[in-house]
Amino acid sequence: MKSTKKELSSLNKEHYSDIGARVKACNERLQGVQSSIFSGQVCQENFVLERNLRSELVSTSFFSRSILATRNRHQISLLMDDDGQVYTDPQVVEDKIIKFYKTLFSSKGPLSETSSTCDVANRVVLEACVQARNEGRDLAREGGEIVREATKWSPELAAACEVWKEITFNFEDVDTLDY
């Protein structure tokens, strides 16, 4: 009995001592593994798939829409340029967007330092009017709202918009404007 007592005591100290600290360490490891599993989009989709497999909801349209919505969130999958050409390759879409903004803010772009603030303001407001007209909005009624929104962007644009408020604009001519 005395010899087994020593063995049992050493077994207890070796395997079961400080059990609270061991449980805490295991919980921390578990949380780390769980957070790494659920960090990626694919992992989230797999989690939703497994959850819905258990509840037999995989064939529902709700499940399909939720997966598609998750995939498409914050992603530009299609880009159409001014010539009407459509780009779907993600790398090409990214390159076209970067090229557009580099041109826009380059020394040769429409927002270069050589353009006066008034020119930029006129172009912005004119583009807003053309876009609104193309959307079928009543510019005679909503043109003031467009100008009010544009004045929030900068003091220079606000000053240019004050000039625009005084101009009588024939909205039917907007359809023929090329900007």
133-170 per-position pLDDT tens digit: 555 555 455 566 666 666 666 666 666 666 655 554 45
Query: What is the rounded distance in angstroms from the CA atom of residue 146 to the CA atom of residue 157?
Result: 12
70-127 per-position pLDDT tens digit: 666 667 778 888 888 899 888 888 888 778 777 766 656 555 555 555 566 666 666 6
Q: What is the pLDDT of residue 112?
A: 52
Alpha helices in 38-177 (DSSP H): 41-54, 61-72, 90-105, 117-134, 139-151, 155-166
